[in-house]
Amino acid sequence: MMTAGNNKPLITTNGMFIIDEIIDRKGNIHQNVAGGGGMFAMLGGCIVSPSRQVAGSLRWIVDCGYDFPAKLKERIESWQSGALFREDFTRETTRGWNGYGDGDLRQFRYLNEKKAITAADWEEFGMDNVSKIECVHFICSGERCSSLIEEMKDLNCRPKVIVWEPVPDLCDKTHFAEISGILALQDDYTVIFSPNAEEGARLLGDKEPLTVEEITQCIWKFDDILSDRHVCVLRCGKLGSMTLTSRNSATGKRTLKRFPAYHEDDVSKVVDPTGGGNAFLGGFCVGYTATASLDVANTCGNIAAGCVIEQMGVPEFNPATREWNGLTLKQRLDRYLERSPSLALHKSDQLCRLLSNRWE
């Protein structure tokens, strides 16, 4: 655990842990699967953590009811993250149902009462640690986002970056004013707004973009919605991610860049898309906190998402070698960068070093 005198940055989420029941594309039922947007985000961060020290900077709350499986706790503990298990034996663990149809279209509903996480809950990390949080991952509505920002100020929690994953069902024209109002705010933090491509288009009143060209047209519409320092990252599934940067102070213009999906060259490796988008953002948070580079952040995000969707549930982790599904972060970086020379990043070993530097 981090001591009071340690000023290394921390990353957290307001996302929950949920025990999932999943109906896959073939109609098979999978029960007691680790899930929840918060869990997958922190898992994504762990996947791109080159050391136990970096993974330990991921502080998150796992709410456990009387039915919480011991094996799930053991698995999460093996990731060596800063997970805080909050036990309440008077209730069930939050549970959800996930169903997939054509085109991996996901349907979701809660099966029991959820236990939401507020900024005030982060006090359980210790107030000294709360003040060191540099990056937060939000999964919430526009209204909730505004409330969380005010709660953080009351706690003297002033992150440099808010990575905001909007609630999918509320990405529509009805909620456009609410969401765009937050994106237009001028403050001392950067908002990285990240719906998936379908959600981003629906928020604008458009149909889902299915090609790189259509995604490009969609994301440019956020140019006038975002304040100068804010960023839009569209998560595009098998087409990777598309990023519209903050406005350059010298030129007054933004830059657009696409990053390929980890399995873009072999979609047969994709087994279950559940949690891929959340994992992308957790990996993104680690990459951005470590380097302040959107290129590095998107690379980490796509690697994390690619690992998470290789199986039903969570990938296998070997704490001794830090291999996820049999591959180290360096090996996954080698594979990704070899197919993406246009990223012009450092070599994989140099990039792993960059990801570690801020925590050493």
Give me the pLDDT at residue 23, please. 83
pLDDT of residue 1: 36
Q: Give the Cα separation of 39 and 47 in Å (integer).
A: 12
Structural domain range at position 255 = 10-357
Average of per-residue pLDDT values in the chain: 93
Judge whether 312 lies within some domain: yes
pLDDT of residue 2: 37
Return the pLDDT at 103. Answer: 57
- Which residues are CB-neighbours of 67 under 8 A, at least 6 positions away? 19, 92, 93
Model confidence at 203: pLDDT above 90? yes
Residue 121 lies in a domain: yes
Does the pLDDT value for residue 7 go beyond 80?
no
Q: What is the pLDDT of residues 44-99, one digit of tens each?
A: 999 999 999 999 999 999 999 999 999 999 999 999 999 999 999 999 999 999 88
Structural domain includes residue 1: no
Does residue 185 belong to any structural domain of this protein? yes
pLDDT the model gives residue 104: 58
What digits encode the pLDDT tens for the residues 237-276? 999 999 999 999 999 999 999 999 999 989 899 998 889 9
Count of domains for the chain: 1
Phi-psi domain of 210 (left: phi exceeds 0; alpha: psi -120 through 50; beta: other): alpha
Going by C-alpha positions, the residue among 332, 288, 318 that lies closest to residue 189 is: 288
Q: How far is CA 170 from the centre of its chain?
A: 18
pLDDT tens for each residue of 302-320: 999 999 999 988 999 999 9
Q: Which amino acid is at 330?
A: K
The 10s digit of each residue's pLDDT in 91-144 is 999 999 988 766 556 788 899 999 999 999 999 999 999 999 999 999 999 999
Asked whether residue 5 is assigned to any structural domain, the reply reads no
Is residue 186 in some structural domain?
yes
pLDDT number for residue 3: 37
CA 285 to chain centre: 7
Residue 3 lies in a domain: no
Give the pTM: 0.94
Task: Look at residue 98 in the predicted model and tell me its pLDDT.
Answer: 83
**Sign of the torsion angle spanned by Cα atoms 146, 106, 66, 113:** positive
With respect to residue 2, please indicate whether it lies within any of the assigned structural domains.
no
Q: What is the CA radius of gyration of the chain?
A: 19
Are 49 and 355 a contacting pair, CB within 8 Å?
Answer: yes
Q: What is the CATH number of the domain that holds 291?
A: 3.40.1190.20
